[in-house]
Amino acid sequence: MPPVTVLIVDDDPDHQTVCGVLLQHAGYRVLQARDGAEGVLMARDSRPDVVLMDMRMPRMDGIAARRELAQSPETSGIPVVALTADVLKWPEARVLEEGFSALLPKPCNLHRILTVVRRLAPAPSSQGELVAAG
């Protein structure tokens, strides 16, 4: 059985690293892209099980990237989770109206990342449990 894959699309390398290590430890295969355009290409090529998408990035923002993914038959079924520090501009109701599967406000709570990803794409086996403060 192929590993469950999470694509992290974020221009913040620190955020990519923290999320990547967390998800790998939980048993996920992790791919990373630096902006929306790269994320769309990577999603088309690798067909991840879920995408964590930053809302503000260079070249192509999260909204445009999610719309591109939704328009393509091979990626339209992939759940996309919005990541943003701008929760006043992007409250959960607006994010869901835009077609995202969930919202993770930045800075992201590690326990919440795992909860959301596990709900959308359960890993078949976990290498260990991470205990994170709520």
Cβ-in-10-Å burial (0-12, 13-18, 19+) of 126 comes to middle
Query: In this structure, what token pair is assigned to residue 12?
Result: 């913040």
- Choosing among 3.10.180.10, 2.40.50.420, 3.40.50.2020, 3.40.50.2300, the CATH entry for 5-120 is 3.40.50.2300
Q: Is the pTM of this model over 0.85?
A: yes
pLDDT per residue over 31-54, tens digit each?
A: 999 999 999 999 999 999 999 999
pLDDT per residue over 62-80, tens digit each?
A: 999 999 999 999 999 999 9
Q: How far apart are CA 53 and CA 40, in angstroms?
A: 10
pLDDT number for residue 62 = 95
The secondary structure of residue 90, as a DSSP letter, is: S
Q: How far apart are CA 26 and CA 3, in angstroms?
A: 12
Strands 29-33 and 50-54: unpaired
